[in-house]
Amino acid sequence: MEQTSGLSRRHFIIAGAGAGVLVSNTELGLGFGTAALAQDKPLPGYVSWKNAKAMIVHSSKTLETKRNFFGTSGITPADELYVRNNLPEPSDEIVANRDAWEVTIEGVKKPGTMKLGDLKKLGITSVAMVLQCSGNGRGFFTHKASGSPWQVGAAGNLLWSGVPLRAVAAAMGGVAPGAKFITGTGGEKLPAGLDPKKVMVERSVPLAAMNDAVLAWEMNGSPVPLAHGGPLRLVLPGYYGINNVKYIKKLAFTGKETDVNIQRSGYRVRPVGQKGAPNQPSMWQMTVKSWITNPLKESAKGPVQIYGVAFGGTDAVRRVDVSTDGGKTWKRAKFIGPDLGKYAWRTFVLSADLKPGTYTIASRATDAKGKTQPEKFVENERGYGHNGWAAHAVKVTVV
Amino acid sequence: MEQTSGLSRRHFIIAGAGAGVLVSNTELGLGFGTAALAQDKPLPGYVSWKNAKAMIVHSSKTLETKRNFFGTSGITPADELYVRNNLPEPSDEIVANRDAWEVTIEGVKKPGTMKLGDLKKLGITSVAMVLQCSGNGRGFFTHKASGSPWQVGAAGNLLWSGVPLRAVAAAMGGVAPGAKFITGTGGEKLPAGLDPKKVMVERSVPLAAMNDAVLAWEMNGSPVPLAHGGPLRLVLPGYYGINNVKYIKKLAFTGKETDVNIQRSGYRVRPVGQKGAPNQPSMWQMTVKSWITNPLKESAKGPVQIYGVAFGGTDAVRRVDVSTDGGKTWKRAKFIGPDLGKYAWRTFVLSADLKPGTYTIASRATDAKGKTQPEKFVENERGYGHNGWAAHAVKVTVV
């Protein structure tokens, strides 16, 4: 797979050298070339239940959904959802008796440890939200950002059920004075011989995330799979994937951000070449974004249903415009299917009558506050947060 | 499984003899006793991809979702969805090249045959809807209705994508004058030596169903599985499962209902002992219904989150009331999660502070037109359409 990543990146560098030239990511192998190489790599055992045809296996801890597998029904099936783990996942013993899983709550007036079975008594809610890796789109940057060269497939739209974090805090006497962050700690077993702060998954987000936060035990109607954080995951609608801590073992309301590496220097946006530091923006709230999912490479002439997915991130997506001429002209697409709420993505469709030729098809989403995807996106050291519409465009041949 | 069905039914007859006594279907084995017996029966090969723990295998053509597996996230995962086939399903060759599947359209001004690949050019829509077998709840009738003794699990809530039937008709010159019904024909291979009219799956529904009808190729974000009608299924939101013809090969706008057995005498509601006939009501539109999914048998004392699913059938569900005393008093439950549209079901929740004791927990839904589930439901020969709230109640012991 290293070979595949390298290949993909080199193609990008070449293509990126031509200023103003929009790059077809299908030419770059997404869902086709990359997949053809990657499909030789079998699914890792712990996710052998995934749909192998739908996944690009970057490594044992990173699997991407192929662009042509997103569908139009709004929800991403669990067996086609991307996987990104920072540490080896815990033993599946932890999902053998889910209700026995314990989470410690701190920074409340009556701190303590609760079993999942007890959390279930406190209330229940359900929310649809986009789960997206901070590095989704990293493959579109032209510098050699380290990390998986995700294109569009490190994202999915999911239904989660669990207890509102507000209800948990209320049951424990309320949040203690002075709290400014929600700090979640994952239940992974840490590798021996290393400083825990260098490897542990512990993330802090602003306390404002509390409003819609959920301690979730169900995803898409089934118990959360181990690979996706079961038995219990912190779900923070609108926040990048890393903040949605898997196998959550401790949740603390804290006055400061945690000082572990993954928070202090990891997931920080900075210019290429700089090291991560606490004074740089953290990968918290997601931004408005969209991408085409059909057609991707070629199409017959005549009416072509151009569709894709769009979301606002923290705010609802309000509109999507589609261009078939690389951004010179735009037409408004329509949304189909039910509106699953402000944190969900929507499927958009534009019917275009295309004659034989080559088209660069782009989509550009606008959120409820009027923020629109930029054409280009500024390079940053780790390749985070790419939502530029030009790089996400596809080149399609109509015959 | 015959043994299990018989057992379940006998228990019902005994229990049903006590007038005014609400029967706990958990006592009758739903999801527990029945499951314990049924789990010895393995999944049939063609649905080996289902979650075996979630399914009650009645026969090779009838599988039911266990009541405690419905979850609270709104959508039924494909691998936990019930199966009910009238004929052996077609070979999986028909899903090897989905876009090559052909469907003949008749009763339009320019009749003809279209490939699925061509249908995809005509437009796309997405709809959430409850798919429910006409006989769901048959197990609650006290007479020996023939057919699978479904309790609540011959139903699911699904997302479908495909082309609006309106767009298909428009592309073929419009519906021909005089049409009153939509008649769909399944693509199953008919058993040799039998009169086709006695066995073929062909169903007619009123033309009014056209408004929201979809020729669907996607379910829950993936191509429709063969077991659920792929590559192409007629989806008629609000109509009982049988009308949603699988592997659809012919769709005709007709002046009369088809005269095949499954329409003429099958799926007709009539008094116990009568034969089916065309002058009896056909199992078309669904009615308002709900059931509890948690708790089902026992619970710890204190705050108990009582939840379940509710739908209106043809109209949206507007409210659900829950009783913990067998229907003497009711409290309004609240809905959680996104509203997926009028044809979808919603998860409802009521938090109740229960002391040790025994409770008969019932739910009663009301649709947007004010229609409410009845307490009892009139017996009918084939055990169709049961939506009485009393029989759907559960007896729960709080310790």
Task: Please state, in angstroms and rounded to a whole number, the distance separating the CA atoms of residues B147 and B59.
Answer: 11
> Considering only A36-40, B106-110, B236-240, which range has the smallest mean pLDDT?
A36-40
Task: Please state, in angstroms and rounded to a whole number, the distance separating the CA atoms of residues B333 and B306.
Answer: 9
Q: Which one of B81, B115, B120, B124 would you mutate to disrupt binding with A, by most A Cβ within 10 Å of its Cβ?
A: B124
Whether the predicted interface score ipTM is above 0.85: yes
Nearest 5°: the CA angle B145, B150, B151 is 110
Q: What is the pLDDT of residues B196-231, one digit of tens each?
A: 999 999 999 999 999 999 999 999 999 999 999 999
The pLDDT value given to residue A40:
64
| Minimum Cα–Cα distance from B51: chain A residue | A222
Enter the pTM of the model: 0.90
| Residue labelled with tokens 């049924």 | B38
- B73 touches A at CB < 8 Å: yes
Q: What is the pLDDT of residues A70-128, one digit of tens each?
A: 999 999 999 999 999 999 989 999 999 999 999 999 999 999 999 999 999 999 999 99
Using CB atoms, which residue from B51, B121, B302 is nearest to A303?
B121
Flag if B159 and A73 touch (Cβ within 8 Å).
Answer: yes
- A370 touches B at CB < 8 Å: no
Q: What is the pLDDT of residues B166-180, one digit of tens each?
A: 999 999 999 999 999
pLDDT band, residue B6 (cuts 50/70/90): very low
Nearest 5°: the CA angle A42, A47, A52 is 45
Instruction: Report the SS3 class of residue A217.
Output: strand
- A222 touches B at CB < 8 Å: yes
Task: Please state, in angstroms and rounded to a whole number, the distance separating the CA atoms of residues A193 and A73.
Answer: 47
**CA of residue B261 relative to chain centroid, distance:** 21
The answer to whether the beta carbons of residues B47 and B88 sit under 8 Å apart is: no
Spell out which residues of chain A touch residue B300, defining contact as CB-CB under 8 Å.
121
pLDDT(B261) > 70: yes
The pLDDT value given to residue B40:
64
The pLDDT value given to residue A144:
85
- Identify the CA nearest to B104 among candidates B261, B271, B232: B232
Q: What is the pLDDT of residues B99-153, one digit of tens each?
A: 999 999 999 999 999 999 999 999 999 999 999 999 999 999 999 899 999 999 9
Using CB atoms, which residue from B221, B336, B339 is nearest to A75?
B221
Using CB atoms, which residue from A73, A160, A340 is nearest to B220?
A73
The pLDDT value given to residue A351:
97
Q: What is the pLDDT of residues A123-179, one digit of tens each?
A: 999 999 999 999 999 999 999 899 999 999 999 999 999 999 999 999 999 999 999
Average pLDDT, chain B: 91
- Identify the CA nearest to A349 among candidates A375, A376, A331, A368: A331
CA-based nearest distance A351→chain B, Å: 7
Using CB atoms, which residue from A76, A77, A159 is nearest to B74?
A159
pLDDT(A2) > 70: no
Using CB atoms, which residue from A120, A222, A341 is nearest to B338?
A341
- B352 touches A at CB < 8 Å: no
Spell out which residues of chain A touch residue B123, defining contact as CB-CB under 8 Å.
305, 349, 351
